[in-house]
Amino acid sequence: MTTNYLTIMMKHFEHMNIDVAAAAETVLNTSTVKERGEVYDCNRFLFIKDGTGILYMQDKEIPLVKGMLCVLLSGVSHRIAVEQDEEITLLWCHFRSSYEDRDLYKTLKMPSNILLVDEQGTVALFERLFEQLAQDNLTSRLRIKATMLELISNYLDSLPTGAQEGAPTEDLQKIDMVLHYIDEHLADNITVENLAKQVYLHPNYFIVFFKGILGYSPIQYVNQRRMETAKGLLLKPECNISTVASRVGMQIYYFSRMFKAHTGLTPSRYRKQATTFASASQTSGGEGKKN
């Protein structure tokens, strides 16, 4: 999976709403599994806590093993089979998510199942989800969403390179080209017209197209990438503030003003604090080794 596809996925999850309808731990055996496929009007996470089985989904037979996370989209028929005298323990949740009426998961063609790197951490996240769903206080919904985003992060952290199922869609190819263009021309004057030309779209349509996938207008995204790049450059001693401003295509006064609006700190203050923190971390690490 390319960096730009991950960027699209991250931006999508940052902005989408997540509504968890239910979650629980279930033990299945030959007497409790269903013979026919089930279809849900919500998305499902299935995590294999223990045991083995087979997931039948569309035309696929997916062997289920301990540590596997399955992502089942709404409307997809599926069923689980278990061998005689065997059982499988599932941690699951049912959720709905939306953003701009686009299903980015389908667009990105992400794998429907993957072995997670952090198996124990995932179990802990599901247990936290169960706990929060059983409560009804002011912060429960926020904590539920935070837990779901951690589950999704575990999924993304476990994805190998080239993990898409099939070739990327035409829309994704267009966005990929635009994001590459932006990263290669941060020092230049980037306009909506420039970006729209890269994918042969009218500027007005391109703005809607871009925001529908990334969640930002094109210029908002360009400025965000400039600030992210600037933060990295400010950590390099050889780059003074004037050089950093030039590398991200901005006049120094405008750059300083935007950087402070983005981080709450001036570029010089940000560099000083980051350097101080790095020095303190190295000193702490060094003392730890001596001990």
pLDDT tens digits for range 48-57: 999 999 999 8
Q: What is the pLDDT of residue 187?
A: 95
User: Do 3-157 and 170-274 show the same overall fold?
Assistant: no
- CATH 1.20.1580.10, applies to 3-157: no
Asked whether the beta carbons of 171 and 107 are under 8 A apart, the reply is yes
- At residue 101 the predicted structure's pLDDT band, cuts being 50, 70 and 90, is very low
Between 232 and 34, where is the model more confident? 232
Lowest mean pLDDT among 2-11, 150-159, 255-264: 2-11
- Looking at the predicted structure, is the pLDDT value of residue 264 above 80? yes
- Looking at the predicted structure, is the pLDDT value of residue 96 above 90? no
Asked whether the beta carbons of 40 and 88 are under 8 A apart, the reply is no
pTM of the model: 0.69
Q: What is the pLDDT of residue 167?
A: 55
Rg (C-alpha) for the chain, rounded Å, is 23
| Average pLDDT rounded to a whole number, residues 17-43 | 87
- Looking at the predicted structure, is the pLDDT value of residue 255 above 50? yes
Q: What is the pLDDT of residue 147?
A: 94
Structure tokens at 191: 């306009």
- Looking at the predicted structure, is the pLDDT value of residue 3 above 50? yes
Between 117 and 197, where is the model more confident? 197
With b meaning 16 or more CB within 10 Å and e meaning fewer, what string describes 35-50? eeeeeeebbbbbbbbe
Overall CATH class of domain 170-274: mainly alpha
Domain boundaries, the chain: 3-157, 170-274
Q: How far apart are CA 227 and CA 263, in angstroms?
A: 9
Asked whether the beta carbons of 66 and 45 are under 8 A apart, the reply is no
pLDDT 10s digits, 177-196:
999 999 999 999 999 999 99
Look at residues 153, 159, 146 and name the one whose alpha carbon lies nearest to residue 20.
146
Q: What is the pLDDT of residue 76?
A: 87
For residue 86, the SS3 value is coil
Between 101 and 175, where is the model more confident? 175
Q: What is the pLDDT of residue 102?
A: 43
Q: What is the pLDDT of residue 100?
A: 43
Strand partners, 70: 46, 113
What is the share, in percent, of the chain residues with pLDDT greater than 70?
Answer: 83
| Average pLDDT rounded to a whole number, residues 217-223 | 94
Q: What is the pLDDT of residue 41?
A: 86
What is the share, in percent, of the chain residues with pLDDT greater than 90?
Answer: 53
pLDDT 10s digits, 104-136:
555 556 788 899 989 999 999 999 999 999 988
Q: What is the pLDDT of residue 188?
A: 95
- At residue 149 the predicted structure's pLDDT band, cuts being 50, 70 and 90, is confident
Q: What is the pLDDT of residue 168?
A: 61
Q: What is the pLDDT of residue 1?
A: 45
- At residue 274 the predicted structure's pLDDT band, cuts being 50, 70 and 90, is confident
- Looking at the predicted structure, is the pLDDT value of residue 223 above 50? yes
